[in-house]
Amino acid sequence: MSKPSAGKVKGVPSYGWVVAAAGGIAILVAGNFQYAFGVFLKPLVNQFGWSRAAISGSVATRGLLSGVLSPFAGNLSDKHGPRKFIFAGVMLVGTGYLLASRISELWQLYLYLGILVGAGMALFYIPFVGTVTKWFGGRAALAIGVLLSGFSAAQIILPPMATSFITKYGWDTCFTILGATALGIGIIAGSFCRNPPPGLPDAQMGSQAGSGVVGEEGIIPTTPSYTLSEALHTSTLWTMFMIYLNVAVCSQLIAIHIVAAAIDEGITPEAAALILTFGGITNTLGRLTIGFLSNRIGNKKALALCLAIQAPALFVLAGTHNLYIFYLISAAYTFAYAGVSPIMPTMSASLFGTKSVGSIFGVLNMGFTLGLSIGPLLGGFFYDFTGNYTIAFLFTAIATTVTFLLCLSMKPLREREMGS
């Protein structure tokens, strides 16, 4: 008897893909903070005279709070269903943007954009990832790639669009537009999110709990799925946590500092800025291509391939002075980095099953958001200490090599061992 394919469950042939696409739209309109906020920096400095460091602190606040709340958001979604928390998250993000249009004090920036948006991001992002993973199980990488393409689209669309709004109408009106868009479209997109029909074991949703793709990773299925408490007692979860943290540290260090590094080499600011534009395009391609490939060769092999591409690219980046090498390396690195994001929740479902996938991925995402906060600070520290970015980029290359070795070291979960 043949197994139903992912997304073809009990007469619902493609609804898992609807959830993934809806999540991508929600991320585009309500999860765009990290890409839209940069264009508000100078207008806010000009309006209020606050330092760039003080304003940027709201970004760190958002990231840290979102990371801390991720496991709780995943646990609530697993227990009570995703939709009500997605609605709450979108409402917090939209309200945060709307209130930000009225700020006059620095603490308000931290409250509205740091706390409200940070909490809102965790409440809608983690349930969407968990729900898509439940639909597809251990073969969710491509669907997660579709979901996370909302971030890539935001990177391409939001900066020029927000800049245009700010130029024409002012930064306060732009915040109002972003908030209204998040509330209107985000809530509609969230209404399409629902769990798979009840009574379906992991295997029926394309998941071989404990393996990547039908035994590709040689891991014996775990039945029933792991609880969060059980997963926390495995070395495998903490290895994945470190992998995700390291990937985030390196990626954010590069994302924040690569344009400045190119300008330091004599490249014009306009040409240097295109490095991020090309990165946004290859980011989208990477999420979808690696997601598709992961379903074919297995999650661990796909993850190792992504890291194997990133490490040599970063070694080359540390020594380049040429604009076209910056473009080429940024494109290759971002393509491979983007593939990691759909693999991690999918691998989580493969190894631990889908019952508590939201909670477990919430823990992994906490490591990722912690890395996003650490990376830019490390890049600034290395630059201030050495006067250039060579050591900073060498650090990312070495750290990525270590992360590759961590990936290879992951051992199969052959039995439910506690305290391993």
**214-238 pLDDT tens trace:** 333 433 344 457 888 888 888 899 9
Phi-psi region of 298 (alpha: psi -120 to 50; beta: other; left: phi over 0): left
For residue 142, give both structure tokens: 């491509």
Query: What pLDDT was estimated at residue 20?
Result: 93
**320-363 pLDDT tens trace:** 888 888 888 888 888 998 889 889 888 888 888 877 888 898 89
Omega within 30 of 0 (cis) for the link into 196: no
Give residue 338's Cα distance to chain centre: 9
Identity of the amino acid at 141: A
What are residue 12's phi and psi, to 5 degrees? -110, 80
**123-156 pLDDT tens trace:** 999 999 989 988 887 778 888 989 988 888 887 7
First to last CA, the chain: 37
Where among 169, 190, 211 does a domain terminate?
A: 190
The answer to whether residue 8 is domain-embedded is no
Query: In this model, does residue 86 exceed pLDDT 70?
Result: yes
For residue 247, give both structure tokens: 């990937």
Class of residue 401 by CB neighbours under 10 A (exposed 0-12, middle 13-18, buried 19+): middle
Q: Work out the angle at residue 52's Cα, subtended by the Cα atoms of residues 48 and 54, and round it to the nearest 5 degrees.
A: 80
CA atoms within 13 A on the CB side of 397: 15
Q: How confident is the model at residue 302 (pLDDT cuts 50, 70, 90)?
A: very high
310 and 261 part of one domain: yes
148 and 286 part of one domain: no
Q: Which helix (H) or strand (E) holds 330?
A: helix 323-352
The answer to whether residue 313 is domain-embedded is yes
pLDDT > 90 fraction of the chain, expressed in percent and rounded? 32
**380-392 pLDDT tens trace:** 888 888 888 899 8
Whole-number Å distance between alpha carbons of 215 and 139: 12
The answer to whether residue 40 is domain-embedded is yes
Query: What pLDDT was estimated at residue 212?
Result: 38
* Whether the Cβ atoms of residue 222 and residue 416 lie closer than 8 Å to each other: yes
The answer to whether residue 176 is domain-embedded is yes
Whole-number Å distance between alpha carbons of 356 and 363: 11
The answer to whether residue 106 is domain-embedded is yes
Residue found under tokens 């760190």: 60
112 and 245 part of one domain: no
Give residue 400's Cα distance to chain centre: 17
Q: Which of 73-77, 151-155, 214-218, 397-401 has the highest mean pLDDT?
A: 397-401
Q: How many domains does the chain have?
A: 2
Maximum CA pair distance of the chain? 69
340 and 391 part of one domain: yes
The answer to whether residue 3 is domain-embedded is no
Domain that holds residue 71: 15-190
Query: What pLDDT was estimated at residue 400?
Result: 95
For residue 400, give both structure tokens: 């990525």
Q: State mean pLDDT over 165-189.
A: 93
Whole-number Å distance between alpha carbons of 92 and 201: 34
pLDDT > 70 fraction of the chain, expressed in percent and rounded? 87
Helix runs in 81-140, H state only: 83-100, 106-109, 117-136
The answer to whether residue 4 is domain-embedded is no
Under DSSP, is residue 160 helix (H, G, I), strand (E, B) or coil? helix
- What is the per-residue DSSP string for 227-238? PHHHHHTSHHHH
Query: In this model, does residue 98 exceed pLDDT 70?
Result: yes
Phi-psi region of 322 (alpha: psi -120 to 50; beta: other; left: phi over 0): beta
Length of the chain measured in residues: 420
127 and 276 part of one domain: no
174 and 208 part of one domain: no
The answer to whether residue 299 is domain-embedded is yes
Residue found under tokens 């990832």: 129
CA proximity to 85, closest of 70, 103, 73: 73
Whole-number Å distance between alpha carbons of 118 and 396: 27
| Range list of β-strands (E), 243-290 | none
Query: What pLDDT was estimated at residue 5?
Result: 44
CATH code of the domain containing 376 = 1.20.1250.20
Which residues make Cβ contacts (< 8 Å) with residue 197, sequence separation at least 6? 9, 10, 12
